[in-house]
Amino acid sequence: MRILITGASGLLGHDLVDCFQEDEILAPRSHELNILEPNQVCNFIAGHKLDWIIHCAAYTDVDASEAHQDLAFAVNRDATTSLSRAAAETGSRLLYISTDYVFDGLSNRPYEPHDSVNPINIYGVSKAAGESAVRNHASQWLIVRSSWLFGGARVCFPEKILLAAASQPLVKVVNDQIGSPTYTRDLADAIRRLVRKEARGTLHVTNSEHCSWLEFAREILRKAGRQTPVLPISSVDSQRAAKRPPYSVLSPLALAAHGIRLRPWSDALDAYLDELRRMRKLR
């Protein structure tokens, strides 16, 4: 298959390129394909006869989105609209990566794909708008929502915790947000399997089980052999610009119907720490 991956140099995109080595991958840099230019998007996709477009590129800075709303919507909604239209015109299938932050976090059970979205920050609103663009303009599409991504390709939450623990006497982490940490290599493999199955619709793909950010941080340090204490703080005390959903666990039931189950996040964390050791980022 010929597959275009947008955002191929990012946290997930990097691992997707590795996962699809048996296929013909197009992974253009921004100077080769500017997804903010609709005409360029249309011409690029029309000229390459793509089987799939996996759209990973996104504006993902949750706090900065509050101050830079135009940019968040330009990347997460408008560029997605351009890609969706171009996919429909050329008969390409489109896979859009979305987020648990499209939900408000008020549920008392894991969110199902069909649950109503109600984002509480600009990032979530812009990603929900991207989902709507896919549904309204693409003809063959799959939306994959995931959460709390971590991986070796870019500095992310676990590595930040390790760096903080190496330079500070203690680390403070919020204890009132619950979700499912997801290893990008596991997510990329699940996406590869869904593409092979030509899956459609909306699916939730995360590592199994859930925790708070505080529990995640403590497990990172414990598994890395670090003794730095981690103190709980509230979301209010963290003074972040954007609100976060207090509970954003995504249900795996629809994914399981495709015969796909991801390992627990704690097991995936072991694999991630091994990856850091191979990269000489952890000893």
Residue 115 lies in a domain: yes
| Alpha carbon 72 to chain centroid, angstroms | 15
CATH code of the domain covering residue 38:
3.40.50.720
d(CA 47, CA 177): 45
228 falls within a domain: no
* Position 144 in a domain: yes
Structural domain boundaries, residue 50: 2-152+181-208+248-265
**Global confidence as pTM:** 0.97
pLDDT one-digit tens code per residue, 142-160: 999 999 999 999 999 999 9
> Residue 48: inside a domain, yes or no?
yes
The vertex-107 CA angle with 250 and 101, nearest 5°, equals 50
- Give the pLDDT mean for 221-234: 97
Count structural domains, the chain.
Answer: 1
pLDDT (mean) for 109-127: 98
- For the stretch 180-223, pLDDT in tens is 999 999 999 999 999 999 999 999 999 999 999 999 999 999 99
Residue 283 placed within a domain: no
Using alpha carbons, select from 15, 252, 263 the residue that is nearest to residue 154: 15
Has residue 174 been placed in a domain?
no
Residues acting as catalytic residues: 123
